[in-house]
Chain A
Amino acid sequence: MLTMREAVQRAIRWVDQTEDQALLIEGSYADGGRARRLHWMKNTLLTAPTEGLQGDLLDHWIGTGLLPRDLFKSDLSEEQPEEV
């Protein structure tokens, strides 16, 4: 069973990797770009004041397609960043 702390760490790791790739391709944090979105997601998740809000954020982002659902399957040992 994944703890909230592990779930957040897993999400941050995925966002970091994907953001690096997106930045490489897009070249900047322009509004409308994927790099900007991922950067905002990371900051918002890291600064959320409670674990409860972090969990709600993850649920909301999975539900609206901003985070891949597979990321939180407990049997996954290595997450692959999505193609950008």
Chain B
Amino acid sequence: MATTSVLDEMKRLADYLDPITSAWVKTSCGSIPAYLSMNHAAYVYKFVFPSDVRAKMNPHISYMIQVELERMSNQGASSSPKLRSPGDSSHDVLPPYTETLLNKLQDHVTRTYLQTASLANPSYAFHDEGHSERIIDYLNQLTSLHQLTHRLSSVEHFLVMAGAWTHDIGFAQSSARGVHHEQARDIVFTDDSIRAYLDNNETAIEVVARLAYNHSSKVDVISIEDWRPMVELVRGQTGVVRVKHLSCLLRLADALDIDHRRTIRNPVLFKKLRSDNPASYAYHLCHQRIQSVRVNPQSRQIDVQALVRTKTDKDRIKRFINERLKLRREVKTLVPHLWSCIPDLKDELNLDIQCTTLAPALPASIVTEEFLNGKARVQAVDAVSGESASEGKSSTSAHQFDTCAYYETGLHQLRNRVKQDHPRYSEFLVYQQRLTENIGHSRRYGDTEARKAERSEMIDHLNELSLSVLGMPFTDLCGSSTPTTGQEPSERLRGN
């Protein structure tokens, strides 16, 4: 999708705003650097356009922006990931000079390629900077198992990190899976900034280009050349680089990133995806169910945890892991090539798939409301099974305030219980901010159906977060005096 069409649409809709805000939106969209277009469009959509103006937006562009907002929300505001601290046995220290180069490479690649890679085809799982960050986390887990004598040198460490950042940049130029690794290789060779951040070292550039190319499952592992060049970086870092070994590590780390963080969680977007692209919907749904993947240092096995609702769901997840995502095939193919350095790494997955009625309710339930003569009928449609339940309730504006206070209590409780250093704390802050804003608008301007739907979505996210962090639904934190009349539909169905 051309970002210019997004900006044109934002400028067109700015005509519906007051003159001062309209002029500001047009100016800011007019002078914006190209790579910031989607970021700024998402801001204008979320904070500047009222719901009636959003409703006038081209549906395709509106969908793209919502995907971008969802991606940002999944992303949070995490700091740059690093391979683990020096001094452990997994790799040599990364000197400050190469660390600076890596930070610049990350910044450039994110702005120029990864932020648009996910937009090239939103029906794919995200190939954004969050994906690269998680790959680095998996690389950490894998390298921590290395025998001391086979640990990564600082040069190998630098190059595999560069490979993690560049391996999916081909998606920014082509949405075709079959060629993105070739595109990535070509970009590494031709992008002057990337070359500069690889120290303009021809061997280093060639290594990273090969890592980007070899990461695709289109490339047969057997055919990867066991090339071991000597790489000499400017500041005296020298070392032999095991390209095939690094390729296998990167490829396995890439295959391991299959959990819920790779996909859309917004129920409305999910519903749209189901109608637009059912095959892709099923793929995303499977990602949703996978809670975590980790390399277990004790059992030296890969643990996959998933939460499902039904036996059919369980079978689907198994198939997804074993067939669609080819994780098992990848593991079986790659692990033997890592054996020389990690001799006892097992190639059998440890699947832990639990059935639960509570989690993962996020995308599975889509709630609709019909207000008839002051009474609301609530219908919850299970997106997987098609089960539905309906219930009548009365709704008045007075009760709405009770509901808002009820949620505010829950937010307060959740904030007190989630520690600031928890990995999902920043995600909580995002949801808290959105819900607080929604409640503020409801109190000031009255409730609308759009606002209620948005609130339901926030409660969904908070329920999932609370379940995952505290093991209890968000609605349980909202106090024992559950409102009987003003309660929102989503949490009545999910929190009980």
Residues in chain A within 8 A of chain B (CB atoms): 31-34, 36-37, 40, 43-44, 47-49, 53, 56-57, 59-60, 62-66, 69, 83
Contacts and interface: CB of A to CB of B under 8 A. Distances in A.
A55 B34 CA distance: 23
A42 to B, nearest CB: 11
A32 B112 contact: yes
Given A47-B27, A69-B77, A64 B32 contact: no
A65 B71 CA distance: 13
Given A43-B31, A56-B47, 20 more contacts: A31-B33, A31-B34, A32-B34, A32-B35, A32-B111, A36-B33, A40-B28, A40-B32, A40-B33, A43-B27, A44-B28, A44-B40, A53-B21, A53-B48, A57-B47, A60-B46, A60-B47, A62-B77, A63-B77, A64-B77
Given A49-B24, A53-B48, A64 B39 contact: yes
Contacts of B112: 32
29 contacts: A31-B33, A31-B34, A32-B34, A32-B111, A33-B33, A34-B107, A37-B36, A40-B31, A40-B32, A40-B33, A40-B36, A43-B28, A47-B27, A48-B24, A49-B21, A49-B24, A53-B24, A56-B47, A57-B43, A57-B47, A60-B39, A63-B72, A63-B76, A63-B77, A64-B39, A64-B72, A64-B75, A64-B77, A65-B77
B20 interface: yes
A75 to B, nearest CB: 15
A72 B430 CA distance: 17
Interface residues of B, number: 29
Interface of B: 20-21, 24, 27-28, 31-36, 39-40, 42-43, 46-48, 72, 75-77, 100, 103, 107, 111-112, 430, 433
A44 B112 CA distance: 21
Contacts of B36: 37, 40, 66
Contacts of A66: 36, 39
Contacts of A64: 39, 72, 75, 77
B33 A60 contact: no
Contacts of B72: 63-64
